[in-house]
């Protein structure tokens, strides 16, 4: 009797719907126009383009506007169709394509947010300044000097808290009033600069991506100081988006990877690394422990740390590798031999899916109603993806 042929499992991956090319320089940001077959992009070539879907099924730039300086960032409000654009010369344009201008920074605008409820425009610049202006008059309402150039900006309308991530790896939280601000706190968890922020106002958690290849989830609302690390990129994380309805985080990076994280699981904090002068498993001295080396007549060993328990161990006692997805380690990392034996196959089950966009992503925009993801890259290309096979 012939053996029964088992069907191969279907590979669930994003579907590339559209590839848009036309900009002469890097597309710094692009957004999907809700409820329409349209995309808006801003580029280093000073252009603002509106791409509309033609009868052929292709997206073509139907509106083209040249700005006086390279377009570094933008914020689009779908309710009012108001487009706020930050420029390389430090000015901001707020418009419905009837441009009004005001000077916001002394140099390139790095991030911009339009807050409809307050009629505020929030922005950061390479001048290490965070500022907020009245969107109707352009009047500067207040400012704050950051410790380094900011590259991440998020705002919570309910509490009027603004989150600023900068190149030093620090995240600053400010409480904004009409014409002044108060420093709430600062925190640091990355070993590299913060490159992207994403705020979930429902669960009240903040996600930060970094040049250290990691993402950290900060529990802001729980006030417990919980910080969950997510390790799933081989290059710097450059863009984040969060699907609230499915509790999935989308992170994209310089490696071209699109990683979809399931945040609806009980994740664990990574342990602090313990200090010790000798291996906490076999008691062999580390190479700086001269006294124990002399007393035991043994050569000192290099120190490592188990990613699961945090103990300081030698290479012989941590010869195994394992993924620990609930701790955010989707790739195999160093663990001590005893922790390796204790990790079950169920605990090694992945909590993220990995997909290749085939371009260096600098910005993403997610349309939750249709499950579409827009990625823009350093290759001057915009790609539109159907994410419903993986974000559901």
CATH of the domain at 22: 2.130.10.10
Question: Is residue 120 domain-resident?
Answer: yes
Claim to verify: residue 333 and residue 208 sit in the same structural domain = no
Question: Is residue 185 domain-resident?
Answer: yes
CA–CA gap between residue 372 and residue 389 (Å, rounded): 11
pLDDT score of 392: 76
Claim to verify: residue 70 and residue 148 sit in the same structural domain = yes
Please tell me whether the overall predicted TM-score, pTM, comes out greater than 0.85 for this model.
yes
Claim to verify: residue 332 and residue 362 sit in the same structural domain = no
CA–CA gap between residue 389 and residue 385 (Å, rounded): 10
Claim to verify: residue 258 and residue 317 sit in the same structural domain = no
CA–CA gap between residue 179 and residue 186 (Å, rounded): 21
Claim to verify: residue 320 and residue 359 sit in the same structural domain = no
Q: Do 216 and 208 touch, CB atoms closer than 8 A?
A: yes
Backbone φ and ψ of 176, nearest 5°: -95, 135
pLDDT score of 223: 63
Claim to verify: residue 25 and residue 111 sit in the same structural domain = yes
Claim to verify: residue 121 and residue 188 sit in the same structural domain = yes
Question: Is residue 75 domain-resident?
Answer: yes
Which pair of structure tokens corresponds to residue 378? 């350093």
Question: Is residue 133 domain-resident?
Answer: yes
Side-chain-side CA neighbours of 132 within 13 Å: the count stands at: 26
CATH of the domain at 308: 3.30.40.10
Question: Is residue 274 domain-resident?
Answer: no
- CA-CA distances (angstroms) from residue 358 to 4, 21, 24, 252? 37, 14, 19, 11
Question: Is residue 162 domain-resident?
Answer: yes
Claim to verify: residue 198 and residue 315 sit in the same structural domain = no
Question: Is residue 22 domain-resident?
Answer: yes
pLDDT score of 205: 94
How many domains, the chain?
2
Claim to verify: residue 143 and residue 160 sit in the same structural domain = yes
Domain limits at 340?
290-348
Question: Is residue 318 domain-resident?
Answer: yes
Claim to verify: residue 316 and residue 216 sit in the same structural domain = no
Report which of 217, 221, 215, 208 is spatially closest to residue 235, judged by C-alpha positions: 215
Claim to verify: residue 155 and residue 20 sit in the same structural domain = yes
How confident is the prediction along the chain (392 residues), in pLDDT tens digits per residue? Answer: 333 443 333 458 999 999 998 777 899 999 999 888 899 999 999 999 999 999 888 998 888 889 999 999 999 998 888 999 999 999 999 875 455 788 999 999 999 999 999 999 999 999 999 999 998 888 999 999 999 999 999 999 999 999 999 999 999 999 998 888 999 999 999 999 999 999 999 999 999 999 999 999 999 877 667 888 999 999 999 999 999 999 999 999 998 999 999 999 988 888 888 988 889 889 888 877 676 667 776 766 788 899 999 899 998 899 999 999 999 899 999 999 999 999 988 889 999 999 999 999 999 999 999 999 999 989 999 999 999 999 87
Claim to verify: residue 180 and residue 58 sit in the same structural domain = yes
Q: Which residues are paired to 168 by β-bridges?
A: none
Structure-token match 């002469």, residue found: 24
pLDDT score of 69: 94
């Amino acid at each position: 009797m012939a053996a029964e042929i088992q069907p191969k499992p279907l590979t669930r991956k994003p579907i590339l719907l559209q590839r848009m090319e036309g900009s002469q320089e890097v597309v710094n940001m692009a957004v999907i126009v809700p409820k329409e077959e349209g995309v808006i992009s801003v580029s280093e070539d000073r252009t603002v383009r509106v791409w509309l879907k033609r009868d052929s099924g292709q997206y073509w730039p139907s509106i083209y506007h040249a700005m006086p300086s390279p377009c570094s960032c933008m914020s689009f409000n779908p309710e009012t169709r108001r487009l706020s654009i930050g420029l390389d010369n430090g000015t901001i344009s707020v418009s419905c394509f009837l441009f009004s201008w005001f000077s916001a920074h002394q140099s390139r605008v790095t991030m911009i947010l339009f807050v409809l409820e307050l009629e505020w425009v929030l922005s950061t610049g390479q001048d290490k300044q965070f500022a907020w202006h009245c969107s109707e008059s352009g009047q500067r309402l207040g400012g704050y000097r950051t410790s380094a150039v900011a590259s991440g900006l998020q705002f919570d309308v309910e509490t009027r808290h603004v989150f600023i991530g900068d190149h030093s790896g620090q995240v600053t939280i400010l409480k904004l009033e009409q014409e002044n601000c108060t420093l709430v706190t600062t925190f640091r968890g990355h070993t590299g600069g913060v490159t992207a922020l994403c705020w979930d106002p429902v669960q009240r958690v903040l996600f930060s991506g970094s040049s250290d290849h990691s993402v950290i989830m900060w529990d802001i609302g729980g006030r417990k100081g919980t910080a969950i690390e997510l390790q799933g990129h081989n290059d710097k994380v450059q863009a984040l988006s969060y699907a609230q309805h499915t509790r999935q985080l989308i992170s994209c990076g310089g490696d071209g990877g699109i990683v979809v994280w399931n945040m609806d699981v009980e994740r664990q904090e990574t342990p602090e690394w313990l200090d010790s002068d000798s291996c906490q498993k076999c008691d062999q001295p580390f190479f700086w422990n001269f006294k124990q080396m002399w007393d035991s007549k043994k050569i000192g060993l290099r120190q490592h740390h188990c990613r699961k328990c945090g103990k300081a161990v030698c290479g012989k006692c941590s010869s195994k590798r394992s993924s620990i997805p609930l701790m955010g380690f989707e790739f195999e990392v160093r663990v001590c031999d005893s922790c390796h034996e204790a990790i079950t196959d169920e605990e090694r089950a992945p909590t993220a899916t990995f997909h290749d966009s085939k371009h260096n992503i600098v910005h993403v925009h997610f349309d939750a109603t249709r499950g579409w993801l827009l990625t823009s890259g350093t290759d001057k290309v915009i790609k539109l993806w159907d994410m419903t096979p993986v974000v559901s």
